[in-house]
Amino acid sequence: MKKILVVDDNRDILDLITLLLEIEGYEVMAVDNGHELNRNMEQFHPDVVIMDVMLDGLDGRDLCANIKENRQTSNIPVIMISASHDLQIHSMKKNCRPNDFLAKPFDINCLIEKVQFQLAG
C-alpha cells in the first residue's frame, strides 16, 4: 500500500484530503503542522508528500526545500497546495522544487490524478 503524508494546518482540508486518499486505497498520515516533519518522514516513509505552503508559523516552501536537499528524502515527490495562484513563481524563488502544484480550492479528481502521476513516476 502506498503511503502519503499530508501536512496542512487547516483541519477541514486535512480531513478532506485524508478521507479522499483513504477511499482511493492509500495509507495516509495527516499532520496539522510542519514542526516535526523530519520525524514524521522518518517514521512513516511516505511515497508522496502533500503540503500546504502556509503552515502555522512555518513556510511549507522551506520545508519542501529541506526535503529536496536531503539525500535520504530528495526522491520523494512533493505536491504543494496553496490558495495563492502565484504559487509556482513564489516556489521557484524559494528554491523549493516541488514536483507539482495544486491551487485551493482544488478539484478532487485533479488531486487524485496528481498523486497517481507522482506514484507512477
**What pLDDT, on the 0 to 100 scale, is given for residue 85?**
59
In angstroms, the CA 103 to CA 98 distance is 13
All three cell numbers of 66, joined, read: 529541506
Number of helical (H) and strand (E) elements in the chain, helices listed first: 5, 7
- What string of pLDDT tens digits covers the 121 residues of the chain? 999 999 999 999 999 999 999 999 999 999 999 999 999 999 999 999 999 988 888 989 899 999 999 999 999 999 999 876 565 555 555 677 899 988 888 899 999 999 999 999 7
Radius of gyration of the chain from its Cα atoms, rounded to whole angstroms = 13
**What pLDDT, on the 0 to 100 scale, is given for residue 92?**
54
| 24 touches 49 (CB < 8 A) | no
Counting the structural domains of the chain, the total is 1
Q: Which domain holds residue 111?
A: 3-120
Cβ neighbours of 11 (radius 10 Å): 10
Q: The domain that contains 101 carries what CATH number?
A: 3.40.50.2300
| 66 touches 51 (CB < 8 A) | no
